[in-house]
Amino acid sequence: MANYVEEIKELVIDGEDEEIVDKIKEAIDDGVSVGDIVNNGLIEAMNVIGPMMASGELFVPEVLMSAETMQVGLNYVKPLLQDGDLKSLGTIVIGTVEGDLHDIGKNLVAMMLESSGFTVINIGIDQSPQAFVDAIVENNAQIVGLSALLTTTMPAMRDTVALIKEKGLDVKVAVGGAPVNKEFADTIGADGYSEDATGAVALCKGFVGA
């Protein structure tokens, strides 16, 4: 039997989004389980991509292509998934803080997190502190990720963390973005900081003990 799972993994790593669905169909027709395709093909590919990005072997445009290919494959198989095929590591709300319209980095982090097994609620750009709080409550999230790309919007990140704490929400707060560093994260009371998507995945996995 062809090693469909390995082929699916390689298509994701290579960013071949036009071929991924056909290969998944072939695999299913030949008796490969959807759970195997998802966990050992799609998700495992992103586990390979992360270290390649961290080492400089792959760059953001290539990683985005891989993440998008993985997403195409995942969207195709989602209706076929049985309970137990895909175990979520937890729910993460992610967004760019109020006044900031940047989303490429945030979207890459969101895709990498989803690819790693998290349920991700991406609430978009220019989100108020209350919008983050509402999304956390509505989705019973375990983690919230705040992104800021402008130094002028860093106070909005501080305000968001303050409101989350004020509301007493039991959620881990991760922050990131070009102007943000660990010292700032500590100052505003965040639980963790990452400078890139790979680090964000590791940080969030650490939060849930995965």
Same-domain check for residues 70 and 98: no
CATH of the domain at 122: 3.40.50.280
* Domain boundary residue, one of 30, 56, 80: 80
Euclidean distance between the first and the last CA atom of the chain, given in angstroms as a whole number: 32
* Domain boundary residue, one of 27, 46, 80: 80
> Is residue 122's pLDDT more than 60?
yes
Q: What's the domain range around 184?
A: 91-207
Same-domain check for residues 19 and 101: no
Within 10 A of 19 (CB to CB), how many other CB atoms are there? 14
Torsion, CA 121, CA 130, CA 199, CA 37, rounded to 10: -10
Same-domain check for residues 35 and 133: no
Residue with the bigger pLDDT between 115 and 108: it is 108
Under the banding of pLDDT at 50, 70 and 90, the label for residue 86 is low
Same-domain check for residues 202 and 117: yes
Find, among 3, 23, 2, the residue nearest to 12 by Cα: 23
Is 85 within a domain? no
Same-domain check for residues 95 and 199: yes
Same-domain check for residues 69 and 106: no
Sign of CA pseudo-dihedral 168, 169, 174, 176: negative
Same-domain check for residues 142 and 54: no
Q: Please report, rounded to a whole number, the percentage of residues in the chain having pLDDT higher than 70.
A: 97
Same-domain check for residues 57 and 98: no
Same-domain check for residues 127 and 149: yes
The two tokens of residue 167 are 């509301």
Find, among 102, 19, 27, 103, the residue nearest to 65 by Cα: 19
Same-domain check for residues 14 and 97: no
Residue with the bigger pLDDT between 200 and 80: it is 200
pLDDT in tens, 178-197: 999 999 999 999 999 998 88
The two tokens of residue 14 are 């290579």
Same-domain check for residues 123 and 62: no
User: How many domains are there within the chain?
Assistant: 2
* Domain boundary residue, one of 80, 109, 125: 80
Same-domain check for residues 140 and 164: yes
